[in-house]
Structure 1
Amino acid sequence: MVSALIRRVEGAGGHAMVLARGDRGGGAILIACAEKGRVEKLLERTLDFDGGYVWTACGPEAGEESQKFQDYLDRRRARDPDLWIVELDIAQAERFAAETI
């Protein structure tokens, strides 16, 4: 799933990078949605009530200083070593994530 997302973003002219590798067969996924190098939003892949996956906003609010985003990612990774963290630097990063599920 992560590799497909990276290919789609880079194919559309954006930049994608794995910040932390999780478990190959599972593990939660966090997406850092960025534009022009500035993280604007964090999304986490979660299960909905129907058993499907959706992207849910998590972490600091948009416009917060970048250190707050990094602190949040560090805390999440410390609690869950299987966590994937992927940064997508492209306009409408949330759309790319939603279309790749």
Structure 2
Amino acid sequence: MDSRLPSHLEVSAIRRLAESQGGFATVLAKGDRDAGTIALVIMCRGKEARLIERMPQLDGNRPFVTSLVQTTENEDLFSEAIRKKLERDPDIWLIEVDVPDISRFAAALP
């Protein structure tokens, strides 16, 4: 039996977490209600964007891991990577989060 929370509940928790830390979160792409993969574009006051995703580990854990960081040199690459991810996986949830402290937010993720 899979003990994971349904995706829509986890998305709701992520949105509330952002709000509790003085930020906000919005759903850019709505995936499968129960089993959709979750990816986050996290930024601090509109800067320092990074894409984080759940990465399955050998021990069964699925922590969020940074997969791409946006810089002034790779803005197009960053956008293209997200577009391709959405094309490849129609069940993915993409959430944009803007918080005052990225590290604090990431440490509190469910």
TM-score interval w.r.t. the shorter chain?
0.7 to 0.9
- Deviations along 1:38-94, one digit per CA (max 9) or x if unpaired, are 3521101121111011112213x3424433322111100000000111111013335
Unaligned 5+ segments in structure 2 are 1-9
CA root-mean-square deviation: 1.8
Task: Tell me, in whole angstroms, the C-alpha distance in 1 between the residues paired with 2:62 and 2:107.
Answer: 9
Query: 1:36-55, aligned counterparts within 5 Å?
Result: 36-55=45-64
Cα distance, 1:39–1:30 mapped onto 2, change above 3 Å? farther
For residue 71 of structure 1, what is the amino acid of its counterpart? E
Identical counterparts, % of pairs: 34
Of structures 1 and 2, the larger Rg is shown by 2
- Deviations along 1:20-47, one digit per CA (max 9) or x if unpaired, are 1110111211111111113521101121
Q: TM-score with structure 2 length normalisation? A: 0.78
Q: TM-score with structure 1 length normalisation? A: 0.84
Is the partner of 2:32 in helix, strand or coil?
Answer: coil
Task: Tell me, in whole angstroms, the C-alpha distance in 1 between the residues paired with 2:104 and 2:38.
Answer: 16
Aligned residues: 100
